[in-house]
């Protein structure tokens, strides 16, 4: 019988369990987008996960969304990340880097550059900047001949991730960031080969995934998707049609996995599960929604066809989450005020479960 604690072969990795630590922005990077010793300790504490997917790392300066996030576009960043991957591997873990291009969800005060996107349509809401939240600015629409460079930026970052010791990479194709913007029917108003029909709107995602698979190998490449998610004002009016077409193209590449968020109803998600022949990581609850993933939600989705299940917020306050799930120990609550405040409080200060003497 398959359980959360049954091993799984993912690409070239033998995972000891099917618990995945989901990528979560924590804005603890140093100046220059450098990983820190505290980040190394944070991820190493959680190395009992079958797989860790890191917080999003920008593939270029113009791809940076939030201040305080790490990058994968310089030699110094590679060297800094190596301390993180070494710490995870010493503790027996496996870690993929999430590559996240923010696209229009950015600000000149953060990067020194005007954000870019598929069209000159601003995101809905305030974006984080070094001086606090500000309204999302209007991005510069990428010219047709500029789009391939942005797709290739994922591949360049993936090479640096492997050089830094990561076991693979996950493209952030979800939550209203650049890949998601190209998939959208209201953020993408293009009339060239990257816009209009679903076939054209998936092209950027496919090109980014293909370039990355060519760069580091398909077995080291995954992608995260949020069908119908609506983050940052993104709309998708043809969810089943578009994502079915996208998954068919990604299947030809032989990617290591698709990581789906529960941003659509079960019927849609199950149709997409049937359309995807490879490994599926399922994030069973709405990201940042009212519920956290628990053992019951994980078991349910394993029964519905997921191969692995990702846990987000539960991993923040429970570095020993796998053991707590295995033995039925209480899941400690997380202090939401410390998500993005910086420093070690609410980052390295959550202990493993203390048994009574």
CA angle 204, 207, 208 (to 5 degrees): 85
Q: Residue 288 pLDDT > 90, yes or no? A: no
Active-site choice (42, 43, 177, 350): 177
Q: Which domains does the chain have, with CATH numbers?
A: 8-338 (3.20.20.70)
pLDDT value of position 290: 67
Share of the chain above pLDDT 90, in %: 95
CA angle 82, 160, 86 (to 5 degrees): 15
76-135 pLDDT per residue, tens: 999 999 999 999 999 999 999 999 999 999 999 999 999 999 999 999 999 999 999 999
Beta-carbon contacts of 276 under 8 Å, excluding residues fewer than 6 positions away, are: 247, 250, 251, 258
The answer to whether the beta carbons of residues 51 and 21 sit under 8 Å apart is yes
Tokens 């809401």 identify what position? 125
Decide if 177 is catalytic: yes
Tokens 């993933």 identify what position? 293
Predicted TM-score (pTM) of the model is: 0.97
Residue 53 to residues 136, 230, 357, Cα–Cα distance (Å): 27, 22, 35
pLDDT value of position 193: 98
What is d(CA 271, CA 246) in angstroms, rounded to the nearest whole number? 13
| 2 φψ region: left (φ > 0), alpha (ψ -120 to 50), beta (else) | beta
Tokens 């190596």 identify what position? 82
SS3 string, 198-252, reads HHHHCHHHHHHHHHHHHHHCHHHEEEEECCCCCHHHCCCCCHHHHHHHHHHHHHH
């Amino acid at each position: 019988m398959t359980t959360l604690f049954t091993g799984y072969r993912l690409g070239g990795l033998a995972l000891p369990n099917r618990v995945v630590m989901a990528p979560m922005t924590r804005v603890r990077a140093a100046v220059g987008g450098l990983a820190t010793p505290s980040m190394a300790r944070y991820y190493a504490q959680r190395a009992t996960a079958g797989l860790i997917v890191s917080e999003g790392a920008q593939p270029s300066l113009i791809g940076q969304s939030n201040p305080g996030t790490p990058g994968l576009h310089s030699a110094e960043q590679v060297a800094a990340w190596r301390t993180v991957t070494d710490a995870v591997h010493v503790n027996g873990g496996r870690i993929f880097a999430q590559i996240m291009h923010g696209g229009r969800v950015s600000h000149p005060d953060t990067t020194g550059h005007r954000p870019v996107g598929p069209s000159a349509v601003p995101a809905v809401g305030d974006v984080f900047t070094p001086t606090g939240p500000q309204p999302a600015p209007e991005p510069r629409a990428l010219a047709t001949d500029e789009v391939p460079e942005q797709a290739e930026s994922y591949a360049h970052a993936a090479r640096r991730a492997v050089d830094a010791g990561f076991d693979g990479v996950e493209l952030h194709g979800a939550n209203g960031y650049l890949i998601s913007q190209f998939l959208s029917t209201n953020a993408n108003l293009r009339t060239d080969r990257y816009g209009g029909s679903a076939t054209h709107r998936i092209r950027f995602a496919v090109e980014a995934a293909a370039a990355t698979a060519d760069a580091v190998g398909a077995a080291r490449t995954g992608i995260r998707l949020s069908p119908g998610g609506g983050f940052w004002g993104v709309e998708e009016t043809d969810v089943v049609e578009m994502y079915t077409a996208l998954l068919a193209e990604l299947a030809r590449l032989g990617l290591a996995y698709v990581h789906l968020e529960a941003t659509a109803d079960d019927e849609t998600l199950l149709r997409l599960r049937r359309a995807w022949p490879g490994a599926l990581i399922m994030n069973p609850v709405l990201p940042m929604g009212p519920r956290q993933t628990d053992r019951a939600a994980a078991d349910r989705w394993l029964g519905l066809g997921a191969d692995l299940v990702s846990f987000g917020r539960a991993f923040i306050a429970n570095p020993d989450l796998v053991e707590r799930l295995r033995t039925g120990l209480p899941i400690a609550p997380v202090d939401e005020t410390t998500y993005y405040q910086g420093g070690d409080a609410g980052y390295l200060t959550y202990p493993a479960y203390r048994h009574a003497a």
